[in-house]
Amino acid sequence: MRSMVDDARIPKPGFWSNWSSWEEADAQNSLGHDPLFVFPKDKLVEEGSNVTICYVSRIHQDNISCYLEGVQIYGERLDRSVSAFELKNVSFIRKKGTNVFCKVDQGGALGGIVLFVSKVLEEPKDFSCETQDLKTLTCTWDPGSDTGLSKQPSQSYTLFESFSGKKTLCKHRNWCNWQVAQDSQETYNFTLVAENYLRKRSVSILFNLTQRVHPMTPYNLFPKNVRATNATMTWKVHSIGNNSTLLCRLELLAEGKVIQQHNVSIKVNGEYLLSELEPDTEYVARVRCAYTNHFWKWSELISQKFNTAEAAPSEAPDVWRNMKMVSGHPTVSLFWKPLSKVHANGKILFYNVIVENLDKPSRLEVLSIPAPARSTELTLDQCSYQIHVTAHNNVGPSPASVIVISGDPGNEEVESGRVNGTEDGFSVSWKPQSGDATGYVVEWCDGPQDLPCVLQWKNLGPNTTSTVISSGAFRPGVRYNFRIYEISAKRMAHLLEKKAGYLEELAPSDNPQVVMSNLTSHSFTLSWKDYSTESQPGFIQGYHVYLKPKAGEQCPPAFEKTVLPEDSVCCKHTIDNPEQKTFVVENLQPESIYEFFVTPYTSVGEGPLDAFTKITTPDEYSHILIRIILPMIFCVLIVMIICYLKRQWLKEKCYPDIPDPYKSSVLSLIKSKENPHLTIMNVNDCVPDAIEVINKPEGSKIQFLGTRKSLTETEFTKPACIYLLPTEKNYSGPGPCICFENFTYNQAASDFASCGHFPVTPQAPPHQLGPLTSPENLLKALEQNYMNSLGEIPAGEANLNYVSQLASPTSGDKDSLPTNPPEPALCSEYKMQMAIPLGLASAPPSENSSLSSATLLGQGEHYR
């Protein structure tokens, strides 16, 4: 054992004493009766130390295992009952210490220690001392980390001043107060000693007290006499010693930025006049002070907010107008922009609009429009007016903004141009028209055309011929129209140019509604006249007409083959004139299916790919047929209608109920063409050979002709015909069914009548009519009669064969046959009157037979 004095007052290095003599001790016997002991107990070491641990056991050592934090460690066996373990470079694990324990594997005996590892004590950093009032020194430092072991309290701090020899134990870890001595000690040499159980660290500073003055924060900072452009700031400071002067810095901030800075030397009260202020503006004044004798540190800041007073607006409002005719009267919409805060100099309460007629003297019209309105509307007449607009706040009016409106709007038609949009906006330029322009105005609407116009304008100087119009409201794909006005010396505006442009052109968003017309077998016409090129998201440069022909067919000549985005091939025709809104698709195949689609295109691209419209070209001749058939059908309809309307007349003309030979036009035709000597045979002139009176029911006739039933069953069930011999020339009493038979006529023709030519009596039985009961017999009879008649006809009378069939129940002869009351009238038999030319009659027998058959059938038809 040896020793050394360790005191801060004794300069280092200290001196060690000599080693003491060795003493012997019997450790094992002095321990007690526990089976296992571990040493050293509760040792406190610094981080990085090497520690030797040993155990003493009363049992066999092979059964003992030792662990450091649960991990087995292996040591050196020193003795039969003692083993040692060396732990190198131990580190801090936890405040509650590192656990080392040994245990007997079977017996359950256990012994252990807790090794407390402390972090190395750090030297205090940033040690400094200062005073606020030259009475108390405050020393501060950064203590660094503290291990905070339960075995060892936190390190202590002691402040020692070498000149006075005083020291104080600091109550806080990072600061300490020191009372300045009354003996006006100026220089101080402080040593700060940090100490724990294991180590001691110190740091020293030497300084002059007056060079470590850190004044206290000023107080009572207030504005005084605040006006529109100036204000006085006052404040106070804590005095430091006697007659000490402080340097104070007064700063003025507007919108967070320092705009003025002033240094003021004061003892206790500070005052400063701040000038060049803006009216109606919020400012912040702040002040801080330092010791004038020796600058060490600024004090903390004190701030104060204040507002300057209002002043009259300093600038005329920016006014613009828009003229239009409402109900025949020129109406002016006046717009003005709110004055900026810099120029308003206070809250704008209202705007005054003074309207002065320049053409004739009249009273000034004054309108007062309360803020925040930005426009008004004036209805004027055809005179010229000068309009003054002023903005008013609490203090007074602004300078007037003057604008002159001409009663004659003039011809404002000017050429339109295009303007390109860039990221910065629209670069608009123009050509000056007259030399006396006092300025230019560019006017536009912020929104798209289909929205209400939010009129915007920009005033430009007289020497300007271009400007960049930028607005946060500009959007890509919207057409903006700019109008450039020239302001004359008389304050009148004249439209110079019109420009239209897009901030960024886009591809068309929709396609036109296409109407297809004039469809023929080889062409059709497409038109989209309703498509407006103005309201598109880009300048329409033209149109693409897409056509899908049927598979395998080539594109028409005006088209070129192209591939659509969906990889389908079709034909495309480009129309490069945006105003051409019709197109004729030609050279098509008849009876073919085509699909078409029209889309506009801009410089960016074409419109969306919509669905194709399908059409089928018609047949090549169908239109011709339609042209012919339709008029024919129409004509036929007309004729039918006329026939229907004139049916009575037609009936009389063509097929009267009682034909009148004298009225027959047929006769006149035959007469004129064939034989001019043809005359009408009068019945009265004929001498009848025989008179057939037929009386048979109508229904029986129908049966005979329609069903061809046997005559024995039908016609002769009731005697119908009465045959009269032509014995009396003047007999004029025709019965209900009377056949006149004249042998000067063709016998065959007369045989066609339903009446037979057999000279039978009325009482004749029906079977006597056998030869006519079948058609074959009838035809045979006809042939025979015909051949006979040819031989019997006299040469002088053979030029006309006439069969007269008269059965007129309406004639007056009916009274002459009282024996046949009403019945016969129902079965009056009609016989066709024919005038057959001789040539026709002399035809070969075969032909005559066919003719007779036809006549018979025609007769039958008539009955039906």
Partner 1 sequence: MLACLCAVLWHLPAVPALNRTGDPGPGPSIQKTYDLTRYLEHQLRSLAGTYLNYLGPPFNEPDFNPPRLGAETLPRATVNLEVWRSLNDRLRLTQNYEAYSHLLCYLRGLNRQAATAELRRSLAHFCTSLQGLLGSIAGVMAALGYPLPQPLPGTEPTWTPGPAHSDFLQKMDDFWLLKELQTWLWRSAKDFNRLKKKMQPPAAAVTLHLEAHGF
52 or 562: whose CB is closer to partner 1? 52
104 or 237: whose CB is closer to partner 1? 104
Stretch in the footprint of partner 1 (CB under 8 A) among 1-9, 36-44, 540-548, 635-643: 36-44
Interface with partner 1: number of residues (CB under 8 A):
25
Beta pairing class for 110-118 and 44-46? parallel
Count of other CB atoms within 10 angstroms of residue 811: 15
579 φ, ψ to 5°?
-85, -10
Among the listed residues 59, 114, 216, 247, the single contact to partner 1 using CB under 8 A: 114
36 or 311: whose CB is closer to partner 1? 36
Binding flags for partner 1, 474-493, as an x/- string (CB under 8 A): --------------------
Contact between 41 and partner 1 per CB under 8 A: yes
List b or e across 237-248, with b for residues whose CB sees 16 or more CB atoms inside 10 angstroms.
Answer: beebeeebebbb
155 or 527: whose CB is closer to partner 1? 155
Q: What angle do CA 728, 734, 736 make, to 5 degrees?
A: 145
What residues numbered 212-241 form the site for partner 1, per CB under 8 A? none
Distances (CA, A) of 261 to 298, 440, 576: 15, 42, 68
Percent of residues in the chain assigned helix, strand, coil, to nearest 5: 15, 35, 50
Q: Is 97 left (phi over 0), alpha (psi -120 to 50) or beta?
A: left
Beta pairing class for 36-39 and 71-73? unpaired
Compute the least distance from the CB of residue 116 to partner 1, in Å. 8
64 or 856: whose CB is closer to partner 1? 64
Tell me the helices (H) and strands (E) count for the chain, helix number first. Answer: 11, 50
97 or 421: whose CB is closer to partner 1? 97
Spatial strand order of the sheet with 690-694 comes to 721-724, 690-694, 738-741
Among the listed residues 52, 67, 790, 813, the single contact to partner 1 using CB under 8 A: 67
Among the listed residues 3, 16, 42, 728, the single contact to partner 1 using CB under 8 A: 42
75 or 578: whose CB is closer to partner 1? 75
Residues present in the chain in total: 864
- Which helix (H) or strand (E) covers residue 546, if one does? strand 542-548
Among the listed residues 63, 69, 77, 770, the single contact to partner 1 using CB under 8 A: 69
Among the listed residues 112, 223, 462, 809, the single contact to partner 1 using CB under 8 A: 112
114 or 686: whose CB is closer to partner 1? 114
Compute the least distance from the CB of residue 107 to partner 1, in Å. 9
Compute the least distance from the CB of residue 43 to partner 1, in Å. 10
Stretch in the footprint of partner 1 (CB under 8 A) among 1-9, 38-46, 386-394, 481-489: 38-46
Burial level of 331, CB count in 10 A (0-12/13-18/19+)? Answer: middle
Compute the least distance from the CB of residue 80 to partner 1, in Å. 24
Compute the least distance from the CB of residue 93 to partner 1, in Å. 7
Distances (CA, A) of 27 to 30, 31, 32, 37, 55: 5, 6, 10, 11, 11
Peptide bond into 448 cis (omega under 30): no
Stretch in the footprint of partner 1 (CB under 8 A) among 65-73, 276-284, 412-420, 673-681: 65-73
Compute the least distance from the CB of residue 28 to partner 1, in Å. 18
Compute the least distance from the CB of residue 54 to partner 1, in Å. 15
38 or 405: whose CB is closer to partner 1? 38
Compute the least distance from the CB of residue 91 to partner 1, in Å. 14
Pick from 420, 428, 425, 418: which is nearest to 467 by CA?
428
111 or 421: whose CB is closer to partner 1? 111
Pick from 169, 211, 172: which is nearest to 188 by CA?
211
Give the whole-angstrom CA distance, residue 416 versus residue 534: 13
Among the listed residues 122, 123, 151, 488, the single contact to partner 1 using CB under 8 A: 151
Cβ distance 216 to 302 under 8 Å? no
- Residue 591 exposure: Cα atoms within 13 Å on the Cβ side: 5
Stretch in the footprint of partner 1 (CB under 8 A) among 145-153, 323-331, 485-493, 765-773: 145-153
Distances (CA, A) of 308 to 223, 251, 305: 10, 16, 10
Compute the least distance from the CB of residue 110 to partner 1, in Å. 5
Compute the least distance from the CB of residue 249 to partner 1, in Å. 44
98 or 536: whose CB is closer to partner 1? 98
Give the whole-angstrom CA distance, residue 205 versus residue 606: 82
Among the listed residues 84, 109, 264, 455, the single contact to partner 1 using CB under 8 A: 109
Among the listed residues 53, 66, 87, 113, the single contact to partner 1 using CB under 8 A: 113
What residues numbered 78-107 form the site for partner 1, per CB under 8 A? 93-99, 101
Instruction: Give me the amino acid identity at 65.
Output: S
Contact between 77 and partner 1 per CB under 8 A: no
Compute the least distance from the CB of residue 65 to partner 1, in Å. 11
Q: Which two tokens mark 454?
A: 């939010």
Cβ distance 523 to 557 under 8 Å? no
Compute the least distance from the CB of residue 205 to partner 1, in Å. 34
**Residue carrying structure tokens 């007052």:** 9
Q: Which two tokens mark 132?
A: 């606020």
Neighbouring residues of 592: CB distance < 8 A, sequence distance ≥ 6? 549, 550, 553, 616, 617
97 or 537: whose CB is closer to partner 1? 97
Give, as one character, the DSSP assignment of residue 808.
-
99 or 622: whose CB is closer to partner 1? 99
148 or 605: whose CB is closer to partner 1? 148
Binding flags for partner 1, 524-563, as an x/- string (CB under 8 A): ----------------------------------------
Stretch in the footprint of partner 1 (CB under 8 A) among 51-59, 112-120, 513-521, 732-740: 112-120
Among the listed residues 50, 63, 150, 842, the single contact to partner 1 using CB under 8 A: 150
Instruction: Give me the amino acid identity at 770.
Output: G
Among the listed residues 11, 13, 70, 844, the single contact to partner 1 using CB under 8 A: 70
CB under 8 A, 24+ apart: contacts of 124-127: 124/157, 124/192, 124/194, 124/201, 124/203, 127/190, 127/192, 127/203, 127/205
Compute the least distance from the CB of residue 59 to partner 1, in Å. 14
Cβ distance 752 to 741 under 8 Å? no
Contact between 31 and partner 1 per CB under 8 A: no
Among the listed residues 13, 108, 676, 818, the single contact to partner 1 using CB under 8 A: 108
Compute the least distance from the CB of residue 119 to partner 1, in Å. 14
Distances (CA, A) of 698 to 25, 512, 702, 705: 174, 76, 6, 11
Compute the least distance from the CB of residue 476 to partner 1, in Å. 59
96 or 227: whose CB is closer to partner 1? 96
Longest alpha-carbon distance in the chain: 208
66 or 555: whose CB is closer to partner 1? 66
DSSP codes, 500-516: EEESS----SS----EE
69 or 105: whose CB is closer to partner 1? 69
Binding site for partner 1 (CB under 8 A): 38, 41-42, 67, 69-70, 93-99, 101, 108-114, 116, 148, 150-151
